[in-house]
Structure 1
């Protein structure tokens, strides 16, 4: 194998696959990336047997071939090179010489035949989706995914396809984020797919703000094809909980809150919460919301803001970090908070104007915390 490529282009290419490479794999070849040069294109592939990424670009292919090279070592080397172009030459023993101006480096690789193949997508169902729509939908849901392995099915984003609509949900049992968007799918394309968080993050990294993507659906895998990349992942097994049961349908109270102002006040008052037991009391009185946090070893923080509330005094406590996460992942100027009482979940939705404009809107649900003694 022999090819020449710009250093900047190769550096960009390797950065797109490097995150997938496992740093603690018991299978040595999974610490490598597969490099293939054929038909004027250069392909880089990485996999950890759960998530696989293949990126490609045009290059000057002098001799077709393939090898695998240690991913992190190669990535570190390429980042340090100052040459405009680099040349790769691989011999029959999988030793690769990298030539950059007057510098020469040799890296020992492993045979390409030992590298796991990415699955065939020929038999998969597929649909098209705008990259920007998918990027935003994943951004608005993936933050709520559980990071705890003991809640296995909650460590991924749940994707449901039905009647040309895609519904994405992320939850860790304490908070929930849900959004729906239109997709270009045939009526018979439907199903439920739990996409692991690592794959979601890889997909988000590769999505752009324009253009379309093709999503391939299989029984135990899902793949996303972009212009210059393919991302394939195994799905999480198990049954995702019926989240609609915990989403409040008709909350008795609906309060409009200015997103930026509330976020700023929560940042201030959360400084007075205790590590491990974050809790801020929300007190609603006519025309006003008061946020209070106090701990015996830190002190007390009290902040206020005007709101359109006209009912009886209502006290409810929320985790401020979870609430700020929701506000950060919402895009509208104001959000609507729906409440029934201090013991049931609060529902946070984007302003009606945004939902009407985009024909969809995100729904966030937040479990309340136990109110402390006054």
Structure 2
């Protein structure tokens, strides 16, 4: 195998493929990146068996071939080379030579035939969405994925297409995040994708209107971004029926400026670090919300102007959960729906129905 390519393009391609390589494997071959050169195209693949990422780039291929090299050291070498043309060629005795200007590296490679082949997925188009939209939806839900490994299904995000809407849902027992967007499809889909997969997909997606094509099989999902494909296994099991967790009625409705509320909670949370509970108390009055937090460090009082419909109430929350929600909302005004000091709080954008967040309160000891 011999090919010549631009150093920056190669570095970018390695970086994309490496996102699938976790290093937590008993198979040495999976610590490597698969490289195949054919007809002026070089294909790189990284995999941990659960997730595989394939990306292609243009190159001047003088001799076709395929190898697997240790992803970490190969990535480091390419990153530190001058910004110039790189020549990669295989030598005898399982070695490759990497040449760039006056730098020459020799590296051992592994047998490419031992690298696991990608699942064969028939790309009969199921769903096409803009990259920026999907990136935003993942970012707006992935923070609510469960970290607890005892319920593996909650370490994933529900990917649901229903009634021409794409819904992404994550929940961890303390909060729920739901993002919905209209999509052009009549198909119905329900699958649970590992959260770590979607977080890596979000890093590859661009902030533009270019399309990503998504294909499902019973066991896998494929994201096709043109030069790059991400294939992930799906999580097995039934996701919680999230609609039954969202209250249909409420007794108080609070309208508040999102940034003012976020700033007030961020300042109050400085005193709430004690014991990891991040506890803040909200006194909801007619025109104001008083945010307080007391700890051994001291105490804080913040006041935010609100519009309240309904009775006054006192309620407490883990400030981190509220901040995670507010940081992922992009409208100036948000609405909070409450019923009592011990019932869930639902937070939505005032002007659009593209997201719903549910946060459970913390019971206050009287």
| Same fold per superposition (TM over 0.5) | yes
Shift, 1:23, TM fit:
1.7
Shift, 1:125, TM fit:
5.9
Q: Report the 3-state secondary structure (helix = DSSP H, G, I; strand = E; otherwise coil) of the residue aligned with 2:74.
A: helix
Q: Report the 3-state secondary structure (helix = DSSP H, G, I; strand = E; otherwise coil) of the residue aligned with 1:251.
A: coil
1:371 matched to which residue of 2? Answer: 364
Q: Report the 3-state secondary structure (helix = DSSP H, G, I; strand = E; otherwise coil) of the residue aligned with 2:308.
A: coil
- Structure 1 residues 348-359: aligned runs within 5 Å: 348-352=347-351, 355=352
Cα distance in 2, alignment partners of residues 102 and 145 from structure 1: 48
- Structure 1 residues 223-302: aligned runs within 5 Å: 223-273=222-272, 274-295=274-295, 297-302=296-301
Cα distance in 1, alignment partners of residues 162 and 92 from structure 2: 51
Q: TM-score, normalised by structure 1?
A: 0.94
- Structure 1 residues 57-136: aligned runs within 5 Å: 57-91=57-91, 93-122=93-122, 126-136=126-136
Question: Contact 2:250–2:338 (CA<8 Å) still a contact in 1?
Answer: yes
Question: Contact 1:224–1:232 (CA<8 Å) still a contact in 2?
Answer: yes
Question: Contact 1:124–1:218 (CA<8 Å) still a contact in 2?
Answer: no
1:141 matched to which residue of 2? Answer: 141
Cα distance in 1, alignment partners of residues 92 and 42 from structure 2: 19
> Greater shift after overlay, 94-103 or 42-51?
94-103
Cα deviation digits, residues 83-119 of structure 1 (max 9, x gap): 4111000136431110111221111111110001111
1:205 matched to which residue of 2? Answer: 203
**What residue ranges of structure 2 are gaps of 5+ in the alignment?**
none
Cα distance in 1, alignment partners of residues 108 and 309 from structure 2: 72
Cα distance in 2, alignment partners of residues 198 and 227 from structure 1: 21
2:38 matched to which residue of 1? Answer: 38
Shift, 1:40, TM fit:
1.2
1:362 matched to which residue of 2? Answer: 355
2:216 matched to which residue of 1? Answer: 217
> Greater shift after overlay, 42-51 or 124-133?
124-133
Cα distance in 1, alignment partners of residues 162 and 309 from structure 2: 40
Shift, 1:81, TM fit:
0.9
Cα distance in 1, alignment partners of residues 270 and 154 from structure 2: 29
Q: Report the aligned-residue RMSD.
A: 1.4
Cα deviation digits, residues 297-325 of structure 1 (max 9, x gap): 21111111111125443101111111011
Shift, 1:275, TM fit:
2.9
Cα deviation digits, residues 269-305 of structure 1 (max 9, x gap): 111111322211110111110011112x211111111
Cα distance in 2, alignment partners of residues 83 and 145 from structure 1: 40
**What residue ranges of structure 1 are gaps of 5+ in the alignment?**
none
Cα deviation digits, residues 204-255 of structure 1 (max 9, x gap): 0111122111101010110100021000000111110011111111211111
Q: TM-score, normalised by structure 2?
A: 0.96
1:329 matched to which residue of 2? Answer: 328
> Greater shift after overlay, 189-198 or 319-328?
189-198
Question: Contact 1:285–1:313 (CA<8 Å) still a contact in 2?
Answer: yes
Cα distance in 2, alignment partners of residues 193 and 227 from structure 1: 23
Question: Contact 1:125–1:216 (CA<8 Å) still a contact in 2?
Answer: yes
Cα distance in 1, alignment partners of residues 6 and 327 from structure 2: 38
1:184 matched to which residue of 2? Answer: 184
